[in-house]
Structure 1
Amino acid sequence: MTADAAVTGHLHVARLGTGEPVLLLHGIGGNANSCAPLAAELAARGHATYRLDAAGYGRSADPVDVRHDHATDVLDVLDDIDPVRPVHLVGTSWGGVVALEAARRRPDRVRTLVLADSTRGSGTSPERAAAMRDRVRALREAGADRFAAERAPKLTAPGAPVAVRSRVAADMAAVRLAGYAAAAEAMATTDHGPILPTLTVPTLVLVGEHDVVTGVAESQLLADAIPGARLVVVADAGHAAIQEQPRTVACELVRFWEGAA
């Protein structure tokens, strides 16, 4: 098993393992480290796992504008991973929103799509869009540590291990305003509802049974609207299902990929 990292333009990508490639995209309150438990499980099962720090997150450079094109970043990374063959794409929460856009634009570059605790976006109503943009103000005024202390407890299931809750909070406390603002603007201006029936990439939708952020109903909507998609509810997990139950999620992903093959 190998572990390394590379910089693609302004983006930082970490790699673990060898084999069939998969790209993992984190949520708005995380970074590439949030995907590390799942990456380790997938690498142990024979996959080369790539974890992207989105623009303004982790070790990636800040975006130059709040209206940053995250989907283009993802497509560029997919081309770097394998310029010929499509790659498995896994997006959690906001990362799923970005993954959906990448799959819509270039279905030939996405072998399969996994949406974990994700959503159509926050542009489904003016109220949701305003609430998403208001999070940027809250982060600016409170600072990352206090912001994380207030929001992170909502991300995990009741009774989640202290170590897991601490990792989730630490990832959120590491957010930077420039990255978070661009991600929030992307969420606020996106409603993927109309494009869901047009998707042609094999899709799996995963959601923690205790997710109170995007919720099981939203994931059910995604699975119902995307042709051929299937919904899996992950027991004993909240919104951060890939961190809370990485082994269970990895098993579901591998089963899905084997079926799609």
Structure 2
Amino acid sequence: MRSSSLPPAAEAAPMDTVAERRKFVHGVSLVIRGEGIPVFLMHGIGGAASSCGALAQLLSAHGYQTFCWDAPGYGESAAPPKGLDHPDLVLDILATLNLGPAHLIGTSWGGVIATRIAAQAPEAVRSIVLADSTRGSGITRTAAERMLARVPELAAVGPEILAARRSAKLVSPSAPAWVAEAVRADMAAVRMSGFASAAAMMAQCDTTDLLPRLRIPALVLVGQDDVITGVAESKVLAENIPGAALRIIAGAGHAAVQEKPEEMSAAILAFWEGIQ
């Protein structure tokens, strides 16, 4: 499995990259890079640790220690236990590793987890970055039902066909072929246990009432061509979180974290510099 979203030529060429290592905590696989202030990166419902790899590499090269998780039931992580609370698990991982307050970066579903963590345990969070994210699928019954319907679809057709059906919508029409393929490959590797657990959380979640109560520095990033959660939803997040900044990433879709990691990292680093 690819460890990042670097282009094939870049992966083959000698590069001055930050070494990565893998660690398991509470059954969760973490890809760790660098040293410094901790940054915890959480992928979307169709992703994995590899989805955040290129962004993590860039942030680590600037002196941060990054942790990309395979959410429970994804990648190399163990299957999720029944009734898993994903925000609680992230907080347990941070406490077990004794990291102190961390920057949280969540893309799509990962951003919903980050929002709930920031509301539940602000003392554990330095800032949140919500990338192509949402308030959750619980904002309407239709959205919740649509999210839950993806689980029997996955069971019926399998991850390869599901990825073939859906992955093209995740990227901008201008995305290079190798990026589109990396996004498709991540979705084609999803496991039923992790996907079903994530879908159940999303269907139950509506963070609308949490947003105005957040007192954590927040940056909202969204691809200009995102047709999944969309620019309008990111504007709702930014407008309702006190003091939040909004940045629209040109030439990127819902998978902006993989399509435009350089632009994403530049925006995030500037945001962190401004709050230090």
Larger mean Cα displacement after TM superposition, 73-82 or 54-63:
73-82
**Match of 1:71?**
87
Contact 1:209/1:236 (CA < 8 Å) preserved in 2?
Answer: yes
Alignment counterpart, residue 69 of structure 2, candidates 46, 52, 72? 52
Where do 1:154-233 residues align within 5 Å? 154-233=169-248
- The RMSD of aligned alpha carbons is 0.9
**Match of 1:43?**
60
The one-letter code sitting in structure 2 at the alignment partner of 1:141 is A
Contact 2:217/2:275 (CA < 8 Å) preserved in 1?
Answer: yes
Contact 1:97/1:119 (CA < 8 Å) preserved in 2?
Answer: yes
Gaps of 5+ in 1: none
Cα distance in 1, alignment partners of residues 148 and 141 from structure 2: 11
Alignment counterpart, residue 82 of structure 1, candidates 95, 98, 108? 98
Cα distance in 2, alignment partners of residues 190 and 35 from structure 1: 23
Where do 1:108-187 residues align within 5 Å? 108-187=123-202
Cα distance in 2, alignment partners of residues 30 and 87 from structure 1: 22
Contact 2:138/2:206 (CA < 8 Å) preserved in 1?
Answer: yes
- Report the alpha carbon displacement of residue 9 of structure 1 after superposing the two structures with TM: 1.4
- Report the alpha carbon displacement of residue 18 of structure 1 after superposing the two structures with TM: 1.8
Contact 1:94/1:118 (CA < 8 Å) preserved in 2?
Answer: yes
Aligned identity (percent) is 48
Cα distance in 2, alignment partners of residues 233 and 107 from structure 1: 26
**Match of 1:62?**
79
Mapped pair 1:260 → 2:275: yes
**Match of 1:251?**
266
State the number of aligned residues. 259
**Match of 2:47?**
30
- Report the alpha carbon displacement of residue 251 of structure 1 after superposing the two structures with TM: 0.6
Deviations 1:153-195 (A, max 9, x none): 0000012000000000000000001100000000000000011
Cα distance in 2, alignment partners of residues 92 and 40 from structure 1: 16
- Report the alpha carbon displacement of residue 97 of structure 1 after superposing the two structures with TM: 0.4
The one-letter code sitting in structure 2 at the alignment partner of 1:109 is A
Q: Secondary structure at the match of 1:130?
A: helix
Q: Secondary structure at the match of 2:137?
A: coil
- Report the alpha carbon displacement of residue 21 of structure 1 after superposing the two structures with TM: 1.5
Q: Secondary structure at the match of 2:78?
A: coil
The one-letter code sitting in structure 2 at the alignment partner of 1:70 is H
User: TM-score, length-normalised on structure 1?
Assistant: 0.97
Contact 2:135/2:207 (CA < 8 Å) preserved in 1?
Answer: yes
Cα distance in 2, alignment partners of residues 48 and 239 from structure 1: 25
Deviations 1:173-218 (A, max 9, x none): 0000110000000000000001110001100000000000000000
Contact 1:2/1:18 (CA < 8 Å) preserved in 2?
Answer: no
**Match of 1:10?**
27
Deviations 1:223-253 (A, max 9, x none): 0000000100001100000100001100100
- Report the alpha carbon displacement of residue 41 of structure 1 after superposing the two structures with TM: 1.1
Gaps of 5+ in 2: 1-17
Cα distance in 1, alignment partners of residues 141 and 30 from structure 2: 34
Cα distance in 1, alignment partners of residues 97 and 175 from structure 2: 34
